[in-house]
Each structure stands twice: as C-alpha cells, then as structure tokens.
Amino acid sequence: MHFFCYLPYSIVLLTPAYPLSRMTLHLSAVISILASSMAQAAELPEVKVLAEAESVADALTTSYDRANLTHEGDGDLVEFLRRQPGVSVDSNGYLSLRGMGAGYTQVLVNGQQVNALNGDVMLDGISMDMIERVEIVRGASASDSGAGIAGTIRIFTRQATGPVERKASIRTSFSPRGAFHHQASLAAGGRSVQLEWQINASVANSEKKSDTLTHEHQDIIGGEEFVNSYSSQKGLVRTTQAMLAGEVAVRPSRQDRIGLSWTAELLPEKRRTEGDFRYYYEAPAYDYLYEYRSRWQARETASPFWTIMPTLRWDHQLQGGGLLQAEVGSRQSGSKQSYRYQALEGGFLGGNGEDIRQRQRDYHTGLKWVQPLGSAMRLTMGGQLRTERSGTTYFEEGETFSEKLKRNTSAAYTQLNWSPSAQWNVETGLRHERIELTPPADSELGRRRQNLWLPSLNIGYSPNAQQRWHVQLAKTYRAPKFDDLMAHVREREGNFTQPDLGGNPSLRNETATGLELGFTQALIQGERNAGQFKLNLFARNISNGLTKQLTQYTTEGWNGEAMVPMERWILTTVNRGNTRIWGLETGVRYDLPKSTGLPLSLRADLILTQSRVAGQASPSRLMGQSPAVLDLGFDATTQGHGMLPDRFGATLRLEAGYKSRVNPELWGKIKPLATLHLNSLWKLDSSTRLRAQLSGLGNDWRSTFYPTITPPAPNEPEVVAQTMQMRTKRFWSAAIMLEKDF
C-alpha cells in the first residue's frame, strides 16, 4: 500500500516544471510514430459497435464489453471510466459513483474486493488491452458482496474464452509542465480443443508533480492587527509499474472447465515533497511587523510494492441448464517504505524519519450453485469465506512498533429470479455475513463480532419494448480499512496539506439502507431508434458513517534546545451520526439521422446529490459531494475521410461549488470545477490503430476553510475572522497510443 496522505476534499494536481529539451524529445517521438503509421493508412469499413446494454436480471447494471471498451480513443481503463456518467476518478486513482465521494463504491477485479484491505485499487496505468468487460452496478444483489453503498464497479481482466488477441501497443502522455507517462503493452493468446490461454503484460514509467498553495489569514480586534501566513508545497513522484494479467484454462470434459486467472503488479516508487513557509504578523496601530520564514523537505521511497491475485475456478454444467462453480483465490501484497523529513531553514532545524515494513494477505473461497426452476424461475445459492491479515512494523528513532490485524468474514446467500410474464422480472435475495475482527493482542478492545443480514429486492417492469421501470430496496455495509484501524500515529509534515496519519481501533462497520426508483425510455423517430432517456432516483440512510476528520492536536517537539508543545494537524477516520444521502440521475442520448452527413451522437447527463449528517451544524453536507454534476458530450463517426479520425468525441464536465463541513471544528467552501476531455481514434489499416487524448483542461481546484473560533482566554484579544485558502493547480495532458495486431 502507499502511505500517501490526501484530504478527501483536496485533489492533488500534477504540475511539473518541464525542460524544453524534454518536451522536444517527447514531441519528436510522437511525430515519428504518426509519420510512420499514416503511411500505412487505408480506407476501412466501419466496425459495428455494441451499444450499452442492461442486464436482464438487474436493470441497474450497465455492461461494457470489448467492443465498447476499444472503439473510442481511450488508451487505459481510468480514462475510459472518467468519461462515464456518474463515475468520478480522483488524482490518487480512487473511484466513486454518483458523487458520493471515495470509499462508498465497491471495486471488484475478477470478483475480488481489491479495495477491501487498504483502499488501494490497481487501476492507474492498466492498459485497455487487459480488460475483458466492465460492469457498473448502481444497486446491490445478494450474490455480490454487500459492501457497495453507492454501487459496485466490476472489472474483468481478459479471459481465455474470448476471441484470441495478439497485439502490441505503445502509449505516451505528457503535460506542458513536465508530467509524463510512457507505457508498452503486449497481448498474446491461443486455443485448442482442451486448452485455451490469454496473457497480457505492460510496463510503464511515469513522473508526476504537484503544486499546492495555502494562505491563512486572521483579523484581530476588528482589523487593527492581522496575521498572514503563506505556504507552498511541491511534490514529485517517480514510478515504474509492471503488470501481468491472464488466464489459462483446460476443458477435461464437455461439461467442465478449470481456469487459473491472475493479476500481478510490481511498483517501485519514489516521492519527494518540498515546502516553503512564510509568516507575517503586523499590528498597524503599534507600527509593528514581524516576519518568519522556513523551508522543509520530505522524501519517501518504497521498495518494489508487489501484489499478486491468483484465482482458480471450476465450472461444471449441470443437467437442465444449471451451473456449479467452485473458486479459491488470494491476494498477497507487501512493501518496505522509508520516510524522511528535514527542516532546511527556520527556527526548527530538525527532522524525523520512519521505516515501515508491511505484508497483507487475503484468502477467499466460494461455492455457487445456479439452477433453473422451469422456464420462468432461477435459483442461486452460495457461500463464501474470506480471511484478511495485515502485519505492519514501524521503525522510528530506534524504537519498533508492530501491529497485526485479522478479519474473518463468512457469508451465505440465496437469490431467486422470477419472470411471471414477459413484462415483469423480480429478483429477491438474502445475504448473511458474519464478520469477526481480531485486533492486536495488547488492544483493550478485544475480539469483535458482528452479524449482518442484507436483504435485497429488485423489480423490473417493461410494458413494451421501448420502456422499462425498476425499483430496488437493499441493505449494504462498509467495513473500515485496515489502515484506519491501526492505532499508531504516522508522522508526516504535520501541516494542513500533509497532516499526520492517525488510526482509530474503535471504528465500527457502516451500514446503509438504499432505495432506487428508475425509468428508461427509448426515443423513437419514425421507425428509427434515435436514442434513450433515463431517470433514476436514489436514497441512502447510513448509520455509523465512516468519514475522514482533519483536526489539530498538541504534541511535544524539539525546537533545538528543549522539548516544547507543538500544534500539528492529524487526519483520522471516525464514525459520524446517521447520514442521509439522496439524489437524482438523469440522462439523454440522441443520435442524429444519417441524412445529416455526419453520424453524430449527442449526450447529456445530470446528477443532483444532497446529504445531511444528523446533529451536525450547518453546512452539514459531506465533503467530496458536489450538489450538481453535468456532463455534456458528443461522439462522431467519420469513416476516416481525409485526415479526420474514424471516431472522435468530447466530454465537458461541470461540477457545482458547495459548502461542506470537514468536521465539527472546520468547514469549507469549494469552488466550481470545469473539465474537458477529448479523444479520437484512427484506423490506419486493418490491424493498426492510433488513439489520441487530450484531458484535464479546466480551472484550478480552490477551497476556502473556516475554522470554528474558540472563545479567547481572559485578557487576550478576540479573533473575529479567520480563513484558510488552498489552491491546487491543474494542468492538461496529451496522450497518444499506437496499436498493432499480429
């Protein structure tokens, strides 16, 4: 895992200083690729692309197959998801649905919860060649884990059952200020009567930079005296990533298939952060001015962080169309990290350091039985066992701290799908999970157990081929990440933008009851299907909500002569009171008639979200939840006439500003955001494609925070105004990718 602290309301921008020579080098490489490839360009027939399809069993599931994933200009999975309605991706690669913020969305890779232990998701840098199918589920069902409060994103890597692919691709992206990402991918596969296999590999090298400015201002005694402090923070992350995914399967009989699939990642990483702090105190009434300046530097290195996720699955076809499925798998990860902080200038010329060794293990088994009960009914039953272990050792100033956690989860579920007529579809299920958490031996909390009953009901009604109504009621939950349960405080800079990281062993599971109401209508113009209109209302009532809290605390620090009390910032996870989230999703897609000369599809999607934390002072909205998100875009097909791309599109995302309470002592005002993404695809010949992207065009992230003012001590001046402003610069990036089939 990565110990990179981020605020849930602050997105880190990558803004490097880019030398002209390096820019020339990147542009030269891109021009060479274009020149050599365009020489082979030929007129190609248009490939039929499958439209977004909804699952028959679940009207709230949108599925994207290989055709959907590869017919646009997207070169990696994150860029594809970023453009989908209701999906947000922050700068750390965390996914969220419906604007609910990080943590509420469950991410499954080949059925495994990749964000169960620590929240990290292996998505940044994943080539689209590795992905077989993506499903975005805005509801819940008993057969899935009950951990998706906002919904679930299911990601399936390339399977051996699909079409055999042999492909190589190279992709490069860069920003005008120096960030870059270079990636090479290779896909190979084969098939015989009893053996089939598909392997995908990629290697990537990237450099990211960040630039954050913070300004704190105080007025004292009606503006007679005031204090200003300014801090700038620049960060650099260099990463090399190697990934391997695939499957090998055998068919010992016509009814049986045994497949071994895996996803592996190797990720060495280096981080460097430099800060500059200036403090001014001025009292005009007394003709007094005081100035203080300091500089600091932090470095963090990680030995190759590694993760491997193998899964062995047996599928056996039963008589009558039934299926028996058994699965066993694991997720193993580990890393060694070193963190060093040093003050370079100022009154505090000291530093601190910490070394961390971590190992996490996740084992799971599952058994699933699906049996049709006549032509209109299907029964699904199954069970799952999961064991999660985390061991972390901290080495700090000659002292050693070790923490171990273990969580066992056993689940049993049953689900019935019934279609009483061609118009109606009913899915009802019940899932029971027993969760047992074993904290460290020296913890006073002791072993904790919880039994969760998670019912779900999904009803779909289609009065005709153009309309569909659906309603769903389900209960879901979210368990704390292991990092949040660790009691040890990990010191970072201790400032507002890079606070210390604190654990909270007393955290409880978060539970939610959700309601979905939706309607879909096909747009018919004459005899032509011209598009689709959809509307969905959703609501969540959450108990023991898990949320990040940023507060100040006092600790002792060395000032060069003696230990003195010091004020520092710390970021921890806490349980809040009951939280209500409700919202609306609506969207329309309209395809212009071909008689216009340019096949063009227009789309607009709007998400309205509201939230309220019980007993919390206004504004009580959750941080990270914009009240309105509007996506406007188009997709065009040109058949590759002249120099025009065969397919291109654009998406403009507008996010409304809002006020939110970070915690009871701090609330913030978030400025509106606007982001533009462009993508295009050239089919150079029958086996060669060129993809290009331009993303991140938009305004900077700006936030203003207002700490709650505490009553002053006797005979002390009263603080009448206090603000803290943060600006994180945004920069755009361009990417180009060349693919070749063999």
Q: What pLDDT sits at residue 711?
A: 58
The Cβ-side half-sphere exposure at 5, using a 13 Å CA radius, reads 28
User: How many C-beta atoms surround the C-beta of residue 429 within 10 A?
Assistant: 22
Q: What pLDDT sits at residue 372?
A: 93
Structure token pair of residue 408: 């066992």
Q: Which residues, 6 or more positions from 61, have their beta carbon under 8 angstroms from its beta carbon?
A: 54, 55, 135, 136, 137, 138, 139
Q: What pLDDT sits at residue 55?
A: 35
The DSSP annotation for 536-558 comes to EEEEEEEES-EEEEEEEEEEEEE
Indicate the SS3 state at residue 141.
Answer: coil
Q: How far is CA 468 from CA 54, 461, 535, 608, in A?
A: 11, 6, 11, 22
Report residues of the chain scoring pLDDT below 70: 1-59, 89-94, 99, 101-102, 114-125, 145-146, 220-225, 268-272, 277, 279, 281, 283-288, 302-304, 346-350, 441-445, 497, 557-562, 596-597, 639-642, 708-720
Q: Which residues pair with 145 in a beta bridge?
A: none
Domains present along the chain, CATH in parentheses: 20-741 (2.40.170.20)
Whether the model pTM is above 0.75: yes
Indicate the SS3 state at residue 412.
Answer: strand
DSSP 76: B
Structure token pair of residue 255: 């009814």
DSSP 130: G
Q: Which residues pair with 217 in a beta bridge?
A: 228, 723
- Parallel, antiparallel or unpaired: strands 500-501 and 563-575: parallel
Single out the residue of 685, 624, 699 nearest to residue 654, CA to CA. 699
Question: In angstroms, how far is CA 711 from the centroid of its own chain?
Answer: 40
Single out the residue of 349, 354, 660, 295 nearest to residue 495, CA to CA. 295
Listed in order, strand segments (DSSP E) in 614-718 are 628-637, 647-655, 658-663, 666-670, 673-685, 688-698, 701-707
Structure token pair of residue 81: 């998801």
Is the Cβ–Cβ distance between 229 and 725 less than 8 Å?
A: no
Q: Does residue 53 come out as left (phi exceeding 0), alpha (psi in the -120 to 50 range) or beta?
A: beta
Q: Tell me the pLDDT tens digit for each residue of 79-99.
A: 788 778 778 766 555 677 876
The burial class, CB within 10 Å (0-12 / 13-18 / 19+), for 374 is exposed
- Parallel, antiparallel or unpaired: strands 563-575 and 546-558: antiparallel
Q: Tell me the pLDDT tens digit for each residue of 370-399.
A: 999 988 999 999 999 999 888 888 787 777
Q: Which residues pair with 270 in a beta bridge?
A: 238, 301
The burial class, CB within 10 Å (0-12 / 13-18 / 19+), for 303 is middle
